Structure 1
Amino acid sequence: MNITINKKLYDFITEDPSILTDKWLSTRANTPSSVYSCDNHQAEGRLREQNGLFIRTVANVLIASEDTVNQEIKAWAQTVALDRVETRTPIHEVIHQFKIFRGIFWDHIREFVSKHKGEISESDIFHWSSLIHSTFDTVIGTFAEQYFTYYSGRLSVQSELINELSVPIIPLSDTIGVLPLIGEIDTQRARYITESVLMQSKDYHLTHLFIDLSGVSIIDTMVANQLFQITDILKLIGVNVHISGIRPEIAQTAVQLGINFNKIPTQANLKQALKANKILISDIH
């Protein structure tokens, strides 16, 4: 390895990172709502700072140890991945920008080679090619991992919020509540419903809970078993559960799957369920 020429290349790349960044930013198209849009002036300063650090991180592979470079790559990837997730930038857009900038980066190296022909051997060029391409690939891979981590975390938070908002017990009186369930209920949501219903029933001091399924399109055996568990758990704390609104297609599927709702009081709709238990809407204040 030619340490002297590596240092010269490093200095050439990092002396003025804005040269490379300007060339990269000049390739941007007018893409509304994208962080990479040429008319997104608010993001431009951030892009310049991030790309300047990216240039120094990649160039550092010429003079620094592998451990040092990997630490810098991870730090850069964490910062930029979080920014792209927060700006809702699709990962394919980011990968496309990596591709564009890789070409610009290598054009800059070619300029250096043309200026120092007598000092550079063929083995130096092959070494740089292997080293820098490998570093770009490592950055892209590390970025993708960090992006997935942050994106998955955000989806998890949003999912929890949606679940929380979609399991509201409506108190009809001091001891009576209604839980209208809407949409598809998968195993994960069913577990959340169990936890939420137990907590809300205790908070509201309920003695009767009417679960209305008229807005639910599919119930499988696992979800049905979860509903049975809700019933059993609530009975232990003194809450009687009543089911209403089982749609005909769900009832037919339940029979085919061998799901038995006989141990839970059921009615065709919520009004009938309330009436069957001598609860009149007009009596509720």
Structure 2
Amino acid sequence: MNSINNKKLYDFITEDPSILTNKWLSKRSNNPASVYSCDNHQAEARLREQNGLFIKTLAKVLIVAHKDVNEEIKSWAQTVAMDRVETRTPIHEVIHQFGVFRGIFWEHIHQFIIVNRGDITDSEILQWSKLIHSTFDTIIETFAEKYYGYYHDRLSVQSELINELSAPVIPLSDSIGVLPLVGEIDTQRAKYITESILMQSKNYSLTHLFIDLSGVSIIDTMVANQLFQIIDILKLIGVKVHISGIRPEIAQTAVQLGINFHKVPTQATLKQALKANKILMSDTHMA
């Protein structure tokens, strides 16, 4: 490939990247919720900077080996992926913008080819096409990988926070606590609840823990076994567990699955469980 024409094309692309960026930004729609909205003036400067670096990184493959641009591609993809995750931009919107800019980029190259047609061979045009498209694809794939990683990490942090907030032991006295469970309990959440209960029971020096299941709609055998494991572990550290609020549909499912709650004291409601254990609460608190 003619290295002179490659350098000319590189200079043509990078001489004023704002030309390409302006064309791209001019195609934005009015979507207030999107980082790509034409009305999102706060994001525009950031988009310009990111796209300018994208142009230079993409064009660099014309003058250096593709492998020598990989680290710059990873760096760009990492920065932009983090930004798009933080701005809650759906990945399909980003992929769409890659497509829009790919078209603009090639229109720009086409202008260069028209002006310099006498000095450029068909073989060079074909090589540019393969090289640029391949680099575009590499950048998109790298971005998608980084985006998934940041998005997954964000979900994991949120999930941990939700789990932490969804298993609060409420101390009723120096040695008695209540754990109201709400929502679906899968094996991952059951594992977190186990760890949380043990820590909180120790911190509160509990001798009795009332677990209320009235807000739980489904319990399968794996979750039930995890619950029984919690009960057995709490027994070993001197905490007696009482169960309340088993809903009729859960009771029916438990019978069908052979889940046996008989070894654990159970009551229909938390109020009944507390009264049965002579823990008196006013009606206003237990209504």
Give the TM-score category using the shorter length: over 0.9
Match of residue 109 from structure 2: 109
Match of residue 244 from structure 1: 244
Which consecutive aligned stretches of 4+ in structure 1 deviate over 3 angstroms post-superposition? none
Q: For 1:281, what is the secondary structure of its paired residue?
A: coil
Match of residue 73 from structure 1: 73
Match of residue 180 from structure 2: 180
Q: For 1:179, what is the secondary structure of its paired residue?
A: strand
Q: For 2:214, what is the secondary structure of its paired residue?
A: strand
Deviation at 1:33, TM superposition (A): 1.7
Deviation at 1:104, TM superposition (A): 0.2
Deviation at 1:85, TM superposition (A): 0.3
Report the residue type matching 2:156 in the other structure: S
Q: For 2:54, what is the secondary structure of its paired residue?
A: helix
Q: Distance between the aligned counterparts of 2:32 and 2:71, measured in 1?
A: 34
Deviation at 1:66, TM superposition (A): 2.0
In the alignment of these two chains, the number of paired residues is 283
- Give a deviation string over 1:183-241, Cα, whole Å, max 9, x none: 00000000000000000000000000000000000000000001101101101110000
Match of residue 205 from structure 2: 205
Match of residue 17 from structure 1: 17
Match of residue 264 from structure 2: 264
Deviation at 1:112, TM superposition (A): 0.2
Q: Distance between the aligned counterparts of 2:33 and 2:46, measured in 1?
A: 16
TM, length-normalised to structure 1: 0.98
Q: Distance between the aligned counterparts of 1:121 and 1:158, measured in 2?
A: 55
Q: Distance between the aligned counterparts of 2:65 and 2:76, measured in 1?
A: 17
In structure 1, the gaps of 5 or more residues are: none
Q: Distance between the aligned counterparts of 1:87 and 1:273, measured in 2?
A: 47
Q: Distance between the aligned counterparts of 1:86 and 1:261, measured in 2?
A: 45
Q: Distance between the aligned counterparts of 2:42 and 2:142, measured in 1?
A: 26
Identity, % of aligned positions: 79
Matches within 5 A, 1:142-153: 142-153=142-153
Report the residue type matching 1:270 in the other structure: L
Deviation at 1:67, TM superposition (A): 2.1
Match of residue 233 from structure 2: 233
Q: Distance between the aligned counterparts of 1:103 and 1:65, measured in 2?
A: 24
Match of residue 82 from structure 2: 82
Match of residue 169 from structure 1: 169
Report the residue type matching 1:196 in the other structure: S
Match of residue 137 from structure 1: 137
Q: For 2:75, what is the secondary structure of its paired residue?
A: helix
Q: Distance between the aligned counterparts of 1:203 and 1:19, measured in 2?
A: 63
Match of residue 217 from structure 2: 217
Deviation at 1:262, TM superposition (A): 1.0
Q: Pairwise CA RMSD of aligned residues?
A: 0.9
TM, length-normalised to structure 2: 0.98
Deviation at 1:65, TM superposition (A): 1.8
Q: For 2:180, what is the secondary structure of its paired residue?
A: strand
Deviation at 1:272, TM superposition (A): 1.0
Q: Distance between the aligned counterparts of 1:124 and 1:65, measured in 2?
A: 16
Whether 1:6 and 2:3 are equivalent positions in the alignment is no
Report the residue type matching 1:181 in the other structure: L
Report the residue type matching 2:161 in the other structure: L
Q: Distance between the aligned counterparts of 1:94 and 1:11, measured in 2?
A: 27
- Give a deviation string over 1:84-111, Cα, whole Å, max 9, x none: 0000000000000000000000000000
Matches within 5 A, 1:182-197: 182-197=182-197
Report the residue type matching 2:132 in the other structure: I
Q: Distance between the aligned counterparts of 2:148 and 2:176, measured in 1?
A: 44
Match of residue 38 from structure 2: 38
Match of residue 29 from structure 2: 29
Q: Distance between the aligned counterparts of 2:202 and 2:175, measured in 1?
A: 10
Deviation at 1:245, TM superposition (A): 0.4
Q: Distance between the aligned counterparts of 2:102 and 2:198, measured in 1?
A: 55
